[in-house]
Amino acid sequence: MKFKNYLFFVFLLLISVISFGKNTNAQEILLTDNGVILNLRGIFKMDWDKSDPEVPCSGTGYGEMLFYPENKDIVNGKPLVLRLRDFDYNNPDVNVDYEKEAAKDEKIITETLKKSFPEEYKKMQKISKGKFEVPATVKIKKVLPYTECDFTTVYAYATELKRVDGAKSKITEVKMKKSKDFEEEFADPNEPFDLKKYKVSSKDGYANLREKPTTNSKIVSKMDNGAIVKYITKSDDWYYIFDVEYPNESNKLSKAKEYRGFIHKSQLKKYVD
């Protein structure tokens, strides 16, 4: 009788472990009525230098709010540059007052730091140049792989940023020094250069880009064979990808149109530049 009870206990334990693993993975991609939300865990980092706001193009993200997902499968291990309000970089407003917009961004960043990391924020104000990092969770409403300076920067619209319960933060003061090669200070050899790309390759001549990772989900767009898409992450055998269509004579679009959705991996093959 005891042996049977022992086997039953082991069986329940295995079921619990398997279920926990599935739930953990499933919680990274939240399928809501308003679209896909990435619910990620990782490391939040912020480097700053109050004495010199001007940085080289290769230093994109310096002075920004960066998030490094724990799951390296997310955007190929690249950091996410967090934006705390919605944006549309593919359709810039040429009449916008950039100084006012920068002031708005600075204000919301300050408010978020004060709310999420109040003690750390106080310490950061006393340091001219430094680094801050802490284990955190973030909810991402939109991801945009955006090519600039000849490499891809991944911007993300974050609606929530929280410290992992009980996690300790780290603030490091960086001593001021002049570099012979200014751009060397901003090089990160561990950062992936670009995102993985895939090419649509279907026996039907096209593939359906769907709102959610199921065959009966709403079709966002039909993508012809040969179309190149950028990989964000995956849900089982479905790849969550990004594509953008720019105005030209054939489509008559008035502005660039962005697409995010799921394509089954059987409809894609890896693309090599």
Distances (CA, A) of 75 to 68, 128, 163, 171, 269: 10, 32, 22, 26, 17
Average pLDDT on 46-64 reads 69
For the cut 50, the answer to whether the pLDDT of residue 15 exceeds it is: no
Q: Average per-residue pLDDT in the chain?
A: 85
Residue 16 pLDDT grade (very low, low, confident, very high; cuts 50, 70, 90):
very low
Q: What is the pLDDT of residues 204-233, one digit of tens each?
A: 999 999 999 999 999 999 999 999 999 999
Confidence at residue 151, expressed as pLDDT on a 0 to 100 scale: 79
Average pLDDT on 70-75 reads 93
The answer to whether the beta carbons of residues 66 and 156 sit under 8 Å apart is no
Average pLDDT on 149-166 reads 92
For the cut 60, the answer to whether the pLDDT of residue 186 exceeds it is: no
The answer to whether the beta carbons of residues 136 and 167 sit under 8 Å apart is yes
Average pLDDT on 116-121 reads 95
Average pLDDT on 29-50 reads 92
For the cut 50, the answer to whether the pLDDT of residue 18 exceeds it is: no
Residue of higher predicted confidence among 167 and 49: 167
φ, ψ of residue 200 in degrees (nearest 5): -65, 130
Query: Of 210, 206, 186, nearest to 267 (Cα)?
Result: 206
Q: What is the pLDDT of residues 229-249, one digit of tens each?
A: 999 999 999 999 999 999 988
Structure tokens at 192: 């992936």
pTM for the full model? Answer: 0.82
Residue type for position 268: L
